[in-house]
Amino acid sequence: MSGGASGIRSLPIGSIVLWIVRVALAAEFFLSAYLLFTGGHTEQTFDEIGLGQWLRYVTGVLEVGGAIGLLVPRLGGPAALLLAGVMVGASVTELFILANGGPVLPLVLLIMTATLAWFLQDQTRELFGIEPPADDENHH
């Protein structure tokens, strides 16, 4: 067992930061999904979108699934990619469909999830059996 005097295996600081971001994003998406499932102001928002309340539930399911995935070591990359896609839809909706849209939060979450997906791209490649480009190591 490697570790310091305390006997605890040390993690690189980058791994610790990525886990903090993963947990924080998971908490945000669990909260967002809770609000989607319980209705309230989200019902009016999805009425304004005009596609029906089914989209609210689908969005909530995607957010719960993504949040759970962020907390599973092997699924973090694909989950972040999924949530980035959800945030693209949310950002476009807030910017172009809703009369009084608030795009800041979805755009911040989009940037965070896309950045996390980039840092965890090896997990995504491994899960889907995608080989990294041959010159990936040489151009960093």
CB pairs under 8 A, 24+ apart, for 38-47?
Answer: 45/98
Contact between 65 and 74 under an 8 Å Cβ cutoff? The reply is: no
Mean pLDDT of 67-79: 95
- The distance of Cα 2 from the centroid of its chain, to the nearest Å, equals 32
Say yes or no to pLDDT of 128 above 50: yes
∠ CA(7), CA(14), CA(11), 5° rounding? 10
Phi, psi of 74 (to 5 degrees): -75, -20
Q: Residue 117: pLDDT band by 50, 70, 90 thresholds?
A: very high
Look at residue 84 and tell me whether its pLDDT is greater than 90. yes
Residue that the structure tokens 């608030």 belong to: 102
Query: Can you give the pLDDT at residue 52?
Result: 87
Average pLDDT, the chain: 88
Condensed to tens digits (0 to 9), the pLDDT of residues 8-57 reads 566 688 889 999 999 999 999 999 999 999 977 888 889 889 998 899 99
pLDDT level of residue 1 (50, 70, 90 thresholds): very low
pLDDT at position 135 = 73
Per-residue pLDDT band for 2 (boundaries 50, 70, 90) equals very low
Mean pLDDT, rounded, for 81-99: 95
Percent of the chain whose predicted confidence (pLDDT) is above 70: 89
Residues in the chain: 140
Written as six digits, the tokens of 45 are 């928002």
